[in-house]
Amino acid sequence: MSTHTTRHVKYHADAASLFAHLGGTTNQDTVLLESADITTRSGIQSVAVLRAAVRVTCSGIHVHVEPLTSFGRTVADQLREQLGEYHVGENVYAFPPVAAAVVADERERLTATSTVEVLRALSKFGFLAGGFAYDYLETFEALPAVADGANTYPDYQFVLAEVLLRIDHQAQTATLSGVGIDALAERIDAASPPPLRSSAGPGGTLVARADIPDAQFCADVERLKEHIYNGDIYQVVPARSFVADCPDAFAAYLQLRATNPSPYMFYQRGVDKHGDSFELFGASPESNLKYTNADREVQLYPIAGTRPRGLAEDGTVDHELDTRMELQLRTDAKEVAEHTMLVDLARNDVARVAEPGTRRVAELLQVDRYSRVMHLVSRVSARLAGDLDALDAYRACMNMGTLTGAPKLRATSLIRSLEGARRGSYGGAVGYLDSNGDFDTCIVIRSAYVTGGKAIVQAGAGVVRDSNPQSEADETLHKAYAVLNAIALAAGAELEVIK
């Protein structure tokens, strides 16, 4: 097998410009993961898959492993030796679901052989970056069947890095690792890419259209509230999409990261199950599941409860108004009750995979501020049970209650029946799994799925017994606005939303 090497390279503060300079926005199967401090707006780290060895795509019970390089072919051959009993075709594996009747208990069902086996095996070869669709849950739970939606993100798609760039912005250091990295390292050391700027664009107006008009969304909220009154659920999170032209997804990502720096920012180039190229970008405030193998700590980070920022007419922060908005958020009984319900849900999720006695609420009802909105946030953590790993924990906890409601499975079924289509990437997870077993993902929100020059921006609202339907419809736009505005800024246009 080819030799992996690691070397220090020149530090670049503008990781996105370097990523583009090195072909990250034109080559297929590249990924850029970044994080920023939401208070200081300064960068923390950037990780880029500059060349992928393997693309692995899950669709239902089938997993397709596509080698992209010579090293990737070697990996694929070794994978076939490890998982040969599940190999059903040219680099295709099948993992039939385990019937509930043949497993003794929930733990046995959780650890039964499944499509994550391919990710588990590939992670031993290096760094995996990519994401899970919201609909991946269907491979683990019985849900109403629905058609594909406009967002055609696969059940999961990850790439195994052949060349990986890590930038630590706080230490101002960078390392390049992988196979055959010398020429690329020299390019990085010699590079002085100018900051990327959006093209002038056509100007004018960028129109974003809601797929579900306000009136219909309000009616949907009322229908869901009937299920709450009937005791079927306590909370549910319906969503809708805003669709707009997006000729340059990476330019829109640059605008989003500049205007809405977040703990989790991402840009992924991939291929859906139909063979069509897509780009997925976002700036998410919310961790999905994080696991650190050194101390075996697993963390969930529920965010629920939203208010607009207190902004003056010129877009700057009016601190007095902003403080009033925070006070409204902290004292709103509906928002606090909704948030507390989701913290309880996170505690229950963690309990399924935790060592007994290690679960705790590490942070409760804090307020995080972003460019357009502020949120109530909490953090739930535990030590992962010794017989489980990060992928087991992800399957046990997916999807986050902030994107489904409670109880999760019943709420998810109602959402599927109402929306009638797969959500794709929205509400799923993007992040990485490395060879140490560390796993860090965010919920795919404040994001856009771009294919064929069109961006699909999805956003939801948490519906409880006392919800006002129009307020929930408005909340979806509040949440989508930062992404839609970034797309408009990248096009040099004014944003108009038709809802």
End-to-end distance of the chain based on CA atoms, in angstroms?
55
Return the CATH architecture of domain 4-192+203-498: 4-Layer Sandwich (3.60)
Taking only the tens place, the pLDDT of each residue in 447-472 is 999 999 999 999 999 998 989 999 99
Q: Is 240 a catalytic residue?
A: no
User: d(Cα 473, Cα 238) in Å, to the nearest integer?
Assistant: 10
Taking only the tens place, the pLDDT of each residue in 186-195 is 999 999 888 7
Q: Is 462 a catalytic residue?
A: yes
Helices (H), 83-171: 106-111, 116-123
In this predicted structure, the answer to whether residue 100 has a pLDDT above a threshold of 60 is: no
Average pLDDT, the chain: 93
Confidence band, pLDDT 50/70/90 cuts, at residue 104: low
User: d(Cα 453, Cα 455) in Å, to the nearest integer?
Assistant: 7
**Helix or strand run (H / E) with residue 326:** helix 319-331
pTM over 0.95: no
Confidence band, pLDDT 50/70/90 cuts, at residue 103: low
Taking only the tens place, the pLDDT of each residue in 280-303 is 999 998 899 999 999 999 999 988
The residue annotated as part of the active site, out of 446, 449, 476, 481, is: 446
* Helices 469-490/249-259 angle, 10° precision: 110
The residue annotated as part of the active site, out of 369, 451, 462, 476, is: 462
Pairing verdict, β 494-498 and 205-210: parallel
pLDDT at 202: 63
Q: Is 402 a catalytic residue?
A: yes
Q: Which residue in the block uniquely carries the two structure tokens 């999170």? A: 237
The residue annotated as part of the active site, out of 426, 432, 449, 481, is: 426
User: d(Cα 205, Cα 497) in Å, to the nearest integer?
Assistant: 10
Query: Minimal CA–CA distance to 491: which of 248, 210, 250?
Result: 248
Pairing verdict, β 205-210 and 31-36: unpaired
The residue annotated as part of the active site, out of 55, 375, 395, 422, is: 375
User: d(Cα 300, Cα 298) in Å, to the nearest integer?
Assistant: 7
Tokens of 470: 């129009």
User: d(Cα 450, Cα 85) in Å, to the nearest integer?
Assistant: 37
pLDDT at 198: 60
Taking only the tens place, the pLDDT of each residue in 387-416 is 999 999 999 999 998 899 999 999 999 999
Pairing verdict, β 92-94 and 62-67: antiparallel
pLDDT at 64: 98
User: d(Cα 425, Cα 411) in Å, to the nearest integer?
Assistant: 18
